[in-house]
Amino acid sequence: MLLPVGDLIKEVKQNIRCIDAKTATAEREANKGLLIDVREPAEHVAKPAEGAINIPRGLLEMKMMEIEKDPSRAIYLHCATSARAALGAEQLKRVGYENVSVITCGMDEIQRCCQGE
C-alpha cells in the first residue's frame, strides 16, 4: 500500500524539530546556524530569504556534506510549505547531522524575520 505524501510528512514531522521563523532567527543570531532553502533555484530567486543558502532538496545530503563538516552545527531548513524541508531534515539526521530544525511557517513570514522586521 502506498503512503500518501501528506501522511508521510505528518509522520516525519513527529521525529524532527519544527519551529517558527522568529524562533529560528533568534537562535541563528545566537548560534551562527545555517539557513538552508531547499526549494528549487527559480523559487529561491523569485522569493529569497536573506542569508539563506539555496540547496535544492534533491541535492541536499550531498551538498550539505561539502558545505558543513560539523555534525553539531545548527541547521535550519525552509521551503514554501515545510514539506520538502521536513523530508530534508529527516535525511540530514540520517546521515549524522545532530541539530536540524524545520521552519514551518510560510515564505512571507520567513522573509520578514530574516530581514529583521
Question: Which pLDDT belongs to residue 106?
Answer: 86
The CA distance from 85 to 103, in Å, is 8
pTM of the predicted model, to two decimals?
A: 0.94
Q: Are 2 and 90 in contact (CB under 8 A)?
A: no
Question: Which pLDDT belongs to residue 116?
Answer: 67
Angle, helices 21-31 vs 107-114, to 10°: value is: 30
Per-10-residue mean pLDDT, the chain, length 117: 91 95 95 97 95 96 95 97 96 97 91 77
Q: What CATH architecture does domain 5-114 belong to?
A: 3-Layer(aba) Sandwich (3.40)
Cell numbers for 15, please give them. 521525529
